[in-house]
Amino acid sequence: MTFTRIIFTLLLAVVLWACVTIFARADVRILESPGGQVGPFLDMFDKVAASGERVVIDGPCMSACTLVLSVVPHERICVTRRAVLGFHAARSMDRRGRTYAEPEASELVLEAYPGPVRD
């Protein structure tokens, strides 16, 4: 192999690696989320925030799902016309299956949302 061919091959490999790295980053799409327990959502959104991926909310994002707005930087969140965000006060369930209000947790969650969302 000639020196020129080696350089060309290395350059081509670097360009291909760069393309794969850039285009491999996929959007995280929220098409329908009824919510759920806060902990797993916070863990998932922490991972998304660290990954650099963009989030597209393209359908119902209810309850704990809306915490994406508190964790992922706003410049990496896209909200489409089909998005519906549902908010409610925090609540817990006792051993008998009865729900009860959690006013302190509600206040913490509210404070975690960006100002325009709180408004």
Residue 3, domain member (yes or no): no
SS3 assignment, position 25: coil
Q: How far, in Å, CA of 112 to CA of 6, rounded?
A: 53
What residue numbers bound the domain in which 49 lies?
A: 26-118
pTM here is 0.74
Q: Give pLDDT tens digits for 45-94.
A: 999 999 999 999 999 999 999 999 999 999 999 999 999 999 999 999 99
Please, are residues 61 and 86 in contact by the beta-carbon 8 Å criterion? yes
Q: Give pLDDT tens digits for 2-49.
A: 656 555 444 444 445 554 444 545 799 999 999 999 999 999 999 999
Residue 54, domain member (yes or no): yes
Q: How far, in Å, CA of 20 to CA of 35, rounded?
A: 33
Question: Alpha-carbon torsion 109, 112, 117, 118, what sign?
Answer: positive
Question: Alpha-carbon torsion 106, 108, 114, 116, what sign?
Answer: positive
Model pLDDT, residue 71: 97
Model pLDDT, residue 25: 58
Tally of structural domains, the chain: 1
Residue 77, domain member (yes or no): yes
Residue 20, domain member (yes or no): no
Residue 8, domain member (yes or no): no
Model pLDDT, residue 5: 57
Please, are residues 81 and 73 in contact by the beta-carbon 8 Å criterion? no
Please, are residues 57 and 77 in contact by the beta-carbon 8 Å criterion? yes
